[in-house]
Structure 1
Amino acid sequence: MRTINFARNEATFEELKAAGADIVLPDRPESVAIAKELIGDAPVRLGVDGVGGAATLNLASLLTENSALVAYSAVSGDPMHVPYFILTSKRATVHGFFAGARDYVTETAPAIREAGALIASGDLVVPVAGVYTLDKIQDALDHLFRGGKILLDLRASTAGN
Structure 2
Amino acid sequence: MILIIANATLTIMPMRARRAPACRLLAVTFDVGCCAGDMTKNIIAAVYETHGNPADVLRIETQPWPKARPGEAVVQVRAAPINPADLNAIEGKYPVQPALPATPGFEGAGVIVDLGPEVTNVAIGALVILPHNIGTWREAVSVKADELVAVPPEIEPAQAAMLKINPMTAWRLLHDYVELKRGDWLIQNAANSAAGRAVIQIAHDLGYKTLNVVRRAELIAELRADGGDVVLVDSEALRDEVKNATSGAPIRLGLNAVGGESALRLANCLAPGSTMVTFGAMSLQPLKIPNGLLIFKDLRFRGIWINKWYDNATMQERMEAFRQLFEMAKRGLLKAKVEKVYPLSEVNAAVAHAAQGKRSGKIIFEFNDL
Matched, 1:90 2:297: yes
* 2:365 aligned residue: 153
CA contact (8 A) 2:339 2:362 kept: yes
**How many Å apart are 1:82 and its aligned residue?**
2.2
Question: Which is worse superposed, 6-15 or 68-77?
Answer: 6-15
Provide the secondary structure at the position in 1 that maps to 2:218: helix
**How many Å apart are 1:151 and its aligned residue?**
3.4
CA contact (8 A) 1:99 1:108 kept: no
Whole-angstrom distance in 1 between the partners of 2:314 and 2:215: 32
Given the two structures, how large is their TM-score scaled by the length of structure 1?
0.81
User: In the alignment, residue 76 of structure 1 is paired with which amino acid?
Assistant: S
1:47-92 C-alpha deviation (Å, 9 max, x unpaired): 0011111110121011101110000010111111322211221111
Cα 1:88/1:8, change in 2 over 3 Å: same
Whole-angstrom distance in 1 between the partners of 2:287 and 2:318: 23
* 1:114 aligned residue: 324
1:98-128 C-alpha deviation (Å, 9 max, x unpaired): 01113355556743552343133123454x1
Matched, 1:37 2:283: no
User: In the alignment, residue 219 of structure 2 is paired with which amino acid?
Assistant: T
Whole-angstrom distance in 2 between the partners of 1:40 and 1:139: 40
Provide the secondary structure at the position in 1 that maps to 2:363: strand
How do 1:55-66 residues align onto structure 2 when only pairs under 5 Å count? Answer: 55-66=262-273
Cα 1:9/1:117, change in 2 over 3 Å: farther
| Structure with the greater alpha carbon radius of gyration | 2
User: In the alignment, residue 3 of structure 1 is paired with which amino acid?
Assistant: T
Cα 1:2/1:108, change in 2 over 3 Å: farther
Matched, 1:52 2:264: no
Question: Which structure features the higher share of helix residues?
Answer: 1
Cα 1:138/1:61, change in 2 over 3 Å: same
For structure 2, the residue ranges without an aligned partner over 5 or more in a row are 1-207
Provide the secondary structure at the position in 2 that maps to 1:45: strand
Provide the secondary structure at the position in 1 that maps to 2:305: coil
**How many Å apart are 1:132 and its aligned residue?**
4.1
CA contact (8 A) 1:19 1:124 kept: no
User: In the alignment, residue 94 of structure 1 is paired with which amino acid?
Assistant: F
Given the two structures, how large is their TM-score scaled by the length of structure 2?
0.38
CA contact (8 A) 2:250 2:271 kept: yes
**How many Å apart are 1:33 and its aligned residue?**
1.0
Structure with the bigger RCO (C-alpha within 8 Å, sep 6+) is 2
Sequence identity, in percent?
A: 25
Question: Which structure features the higher share of strand residues?
Answer: 2
What root-mean-square deviation, in Å, do the aligned CA atoms of Structure 1 and Structure 2 show? Answer: 2.3
* 2:147 aligned residue: none
**How many Å apart are 1:25 and its aligned residue?**
0.4
For structure 1, the residue ranges without an aligned partner over 5 or more in a row are 157-161
Provide the secondary structure at the position in 1 that maps to 2:333: coil
* 1:2 aligned residue: 209
Whole-angstrom distance in 1 between the partners of 2:338 and 2:220: 12
Cα 1:4/1:138, change in 2 over 3 Å: same
For residue 130 of structure 1, the aligned residue among 312, 319, 339 is 339
Question: Which is worse superposed, 72-81 or 82-91?
Answer: 82-91
Whole-angstrom distance in 2 between the partners of 1:108 and 1:68: 24
* 1:27 aligned residue: 234
Provide the secondary structure at the position in 1 that maps to 2:302: strand
Whole-angstrom distance in 2 between the partners of 1:119 and 1:61: 34
Question: Which is worse superposed, 105-114 or 13-22?
Answer: 105-114
